[in-house]
Amino acid sequence: MPRLCVATPTGPFEITETNGQITRATWIASDAADDTPLLRRAASQVAAYFNGTLTDFDLPLAVETSEFQQQVCARIAAIPFGDTTTYGEIAKALGAPAQAVGRGCGGNPIPLLIPCHRVLGSAGLGGFSGGTGVETKVWLLRHEGAGGLLI
């Protein structure tokens, strides 16, 4: 599986391609430097996001997990740049417990590109499994001008 690690303001970010789709992204330092058209395009879009010139990723993504995880990720992917929702709102839409949605957010295999940082708890930020955790979530929300409680 081709992989590419790109520098971001929130730390090194590794992107994985499988069969012409992005299947994984994670904050991890690596020497991954595969050169494919899709990984170059993904790196360019990630850079544009952090530069403030891109608000919507346009990449082929594949969530290779359970059907429920795919449903959670589809709901997360629909949250617009600069907006937030809650675990409870997604849970209500899916007819599932909020805790299951929280686990689904935590299991998102393609964070940032599928913006799970835009999902908040009903009484606060909630968790974040990417980067340095909640600090990364706060950075991303501030970058997007989302979650007015943080600014």
- Where do the structural domains in the chain lie, given as residue ranges? 3-51, 67-150
pLDDT band at 141 (very low <50, low <70, confident <90, very high): very high
| pTM assigned to the model | 0.94
List Cβ neighbours of 107 (8 Å cut-off, separation of 6 or more).
Answer: 65, 69
Q: 116 catalytic, yes or no?
A: yes
User: In the predicted model, is pLDDT for residue 149 greater than 70?
Assistant: no
pLDDT band at 151 (very low <50, low <70, confident <90, very high): very low
Assign 130 a pLDDT band (cuts: 50, 70, 90). confident
| Nearest residue to 12 (alpha-carbon basis) of 109, 132, 140 | 132
Please tell me what DSSP assigns to residue 114. B
Amino acid 13: pLDDT: 98
pLDDT at position 69 is 94
In terms of Cβ atoms closer than 10 Å to its own Cβ (0-12, 13-18, 19+), residue 25 is buried
Look at residue 129 and tell me whether its pLDDT is greater than 90. no
Q: Which secondary-structure segment (H or E) carries 68?
A: helix 67-77
Radius of gyration of the chain (CA): 15
Q: Is the pLDDT of residue 138 over 50?
A: yes
| 78: three-class secondary structure by DSSP | coil
Query: Could you report the per-residue pLDDT of 67-90, keeping only the tens digit for each?
Result: 999 999 999 999 999 999 999 999
Q: How confident is the model at residue 125 (pLDDT cuts 50, 70, 90)?
A: confident
pLDDT at 62 over 60: yes
Check residue 128 and give its pLDDT: 86
Alpha carbons 142 and 40: distance in angstroms, whole number: 26
Q: What is the CATH number of domain 67-150?
A: 1.10.10.10
Is the pLDDT score of 22 beyond 70? yes
- Indicate which residue of 5, 73, 105, 116 is catalytic: 116
What is d(CA 96, CA 60) in angstroms, rounded to the nearest whole number? Answer: 27
Distances (CA, A) of 115 to 25, 32, 105, 120: 11, 23, 9, 11
